[in-house]
Amino acid sequence: MNTAHSIHLLRRGVLPLLIASTLSAGTAWADSILNSPHNLSSSGPGSIKAVSESEICLFCHTPHSAADATPLWNHKMSTAPYTPYQSSTMKASVGQPTGSSKLCLSCHDGTVALGMLDNRPTPITLQGGVTRMPIGPSRIGRDLSDDHPVSFTYDNSLAIAAGQLRDPATLVNKVRLDGEGKVQCTSCHDPHNNRFGKFLVRENFGSALCITCHDMTQWQQSSHATSPATWNGAGINPWPNSREHSVAANACANCHSPHKAGTKPRLLTFADEEQNCYSCHSGNVATKNIAAEFNKLSIHPITANTGAHDPQEDAINPTRRHVECADCHNGHASNPSQATAPNASGALAGVKGVNASGAVIPTVTREYELCFRCHADSVSRGQARVNRQFPQTNTRLAFDPANQSYHPVIASGKNPSVPSLLSPMTPSSIIYCSACHNNSQGSNTGSGGPNGPHGSAFTPILERQLITTDFTTETAASYDLCYKCHNRDSILSDQSFPLHRKHIVDKQTACTTCHDSHGVANNKSLINFNRNYAAESANGRLEYVSTGNRQGYCSVTCHGTDHSAAAYQTGPVPLSRGKVTPLHK
């Protein structure tokens, strides 16, 4: 067949009938093929084309002497073995390519010369000395582990097992499964029609092609599906394989690449997990520069591990303890909706958590449930930063409402009278973990940076400074974190405790020497002494006993002074405790 004959058959509809398994009726085949890179004849518009061969269709098809492959296949088949896509979340059974995918790979795996045909005794010579598919986007290679899986059965059973795939009955006239109900290259690509670019079977603006099959929970309301933000041209191109120019237009392509993905499982564009987020969240697409936060003194160490996060991992005790962006944020669900404590904001939508009872839950509804994933029952949660009398590194237990005292993260506090609280805080208020653990230059501090416990100048990722060592001069800055909620003037005028000023200013005792910021099971007023400064009294006890509202006594030796059952206000003291001495003497 020469060019004129090929076009004649196309226009008459003869050739589409011969290769009906890969063509769709009603498409302008001649115009599409002629003006596409698949026209490898000498008249082709692309950079890869024959020196003198004028026939078009024969590079793939022949009406006579075809290979034993449908539809009337003419190109020499590859005999290369392939490495298929693998993922812990994949429910499909994927093996070696079959059907039309194997046909496509006869050119696109780069192992067979493009001009090597069954009905020609010698290969067709191509211009520029090209033989096999040149290295580049079109050369898929034999390693298919970084490509969307093909040659697997897509039926209703798979859709149910996967949980976020659409019923294959809804794919009619949108995505084509082959005669065996399998996903093949031709499910997404029509080799005879390039009007949508990349030979896609339909327009992919807003990832319309992707979401034809993939039905991700909460996707339609997510930021990646709706944001009009565009790239400012600085830094790394967040969409290197796309022709679209906004977050909403790229949609799935904000993070994923169907071919030659940098991170193979789940097909993320870049090899380093965090780079898939940094490419936008560096101030070049998203308004706030999250990436810069991870250069601070105290951070969630997302760069410490590579390839560690897996959606199927144990939520509490994964094989390798790690933190990645995807541990706290679900790119398919995250959105800009706001919330009030303790409810989780849209930024945390769709992520796993651990509730106050210690049970793993598929989607957090409270912010603390996300924090508890790593900072509660995890066996590798780390050591206490303050040498406490009663160590408790499990934050879920520290904030337990059954405790004698706790900061009100899970539930409102138990103390009905807290005169130092700054408005709008009241004794019935509930706060976030991020009320204390946050960006030291975030909008909560008036600096305008991004909020969230990504990084801070103060350890451990504290929004404001909190000195934990004694013999530090009291200033507003020294205990800025405490003074965020507790009025400094009230504290130093002894409205809550008659000897606050004496301890903090005169004796230069840190807030954390007496108070545990999270909670204490058996002591009121968050009293949990720092053993670096507090030791047993001469009576052999190290203890605080509450005898009423802002009343009690301590047995402790600190800064060289012994307080043996020393009362800071008159209160009922058990006879077994013996004589009570004033603490201020």
Residue 584: band (very low, low, confident or very high) from pLDDT cuts 50, 70, 90:
very low
CA distance 81 to 331: 34
CA distance 178 to 183: 7
The reply to whether omega before 149 is within 30° of 0 (cis) is no
CA distance 44 to 54: 9
Higher pLDDT, 573 or 514: 514
φ/ψ of 271, rounded to 5, equals -70, -40
Residue 23: band (very low, low, confident or very high) from pLDDT cuts 50, 70, 90:
very low
Residue 12: the pLDDT is: 35
Residue 21: the pLDDT is: 36
- The arithmetic mean of pLDDT across residues 487-499, rounded, is 94
**CA nearest 201: which of 189, 213, 212?**
189
Residue 305: band (very low, low, confident or very high) from pLDDT cuts 50, 70, 90:
confident
CA distance 485 to 423: 8
Share of the chain above pLDDT 70, in %: 91
In sequence order, what are the beta bridge partners of 117?
75
Q: Would you say residue 127 has pLDDT above 80?
A: yes
**CA nearest 324: which of 300, 344, 348?**
300
CA distance 562 to 296: 41
Higher pLDDT, 27 or 352: 352
Close Cβ partners of 531 (under 8 Å, ≥ 6 residues apart): 387, 388, 389
> Which long-range CB contacts under 8 A does 89-92 form with residues at least 24 apart?
89/265, 89/266, 89/311, 89/312, 90/149, 91/158, 91/161, 91/162, 92/149, 92/152, 92/153, 92/154, 92/158, 92/162
- The arithmetic mean of pLDDT across residues 33-62, rounded, is 94
CA distance 404 to 396: 14
φ/ψ of 234, rounded to 5, equals -90, 155
**For the stretch 220-255, what's the b/e string if a residue is b when 16 or more beta carbons lie within 10 angstroms of its beta carbon?**
eebbbbebeeebeeeeeebbebbebebbbbbbbbbb
CA distance 496 to 515: 13
**CA nearest 192: which of 30, 76, 61, 53?**
30
DSSP E strands in 139-253: the ranges are 152-153, 182-183
CA distance 133 to 501: 79
Q: Is the pTM of this model over 0.75?
A: yes
Instruction: Give yes or no for a contact between 144 and 95, defined as CB atoms under 8 angstroms apart.
Output: no
Q: Would you say residue 173 has pLDDT above 90?
A: no
Residue with tokens 């084509």: 176
Instruction: Give yes or no for a contact between 20 and 71, defined as CB atoms under 8 angstroms apart.
Output: yes
Residue 569: the pLDDT is: 63
Q: Which strand (E) or helix (H) includes residue 157?
A: helix 156-162
Q: Would you say residue 529 has pLDDT above 70?
A: yes
Q: Which strand (E) or helix (H) includes residue 563?
A: strand 561-567
DSSP class per residue in 392-440:
---HHHHT-TTSSEE-SSSS--S-S--TTBPTT--TT----GGGTBS-T
| Stretch among 62-66, 82-86, 277-281 having the lowest mean pLDDT | 62-66
Residue 20: the pLDDT is: 37
- Encoding tokens for residue 488? 């400094």
Strands 519-520 and 405-406: antiparallel
Give 408-437 pLDDT, tens digit per residue: 999 999 999 899 999 999 999 999 999 999
CA distance 497 to 298: 33
Q: Would you say residue 66 has pLDDT above 80?
A: no
Residue 99: band (very low, low, confident or very high) from pLDDT cuts 50, 70, 90:
very high
Residue with tokens 């399998």: 182
- The arithmetic mean of pLDDT across residues 109-118, rounded, is 96
Residue 306: the pLDDT is: 80
CA distance 47 to 521: 74
- Encoding tokens for residue 452? 């969230």
Q: Distance between alpha carbon 343 and the CA centroid of its chain, in Å?
A: 19
Residue with tokens 């605080």: 544
For the chain, the average pLDDT equals: 91
- Encoding tokens for residue 425? 């805080």
Instruction: Give yes or no for a contact between 564 and 555, defined as CB atoms under 8 angstroms apart.
Output: yes
Q: Would you say residue 578 has pLDDT above 90?
A: no
Share of the chain above pLDDT 90, in %: 83
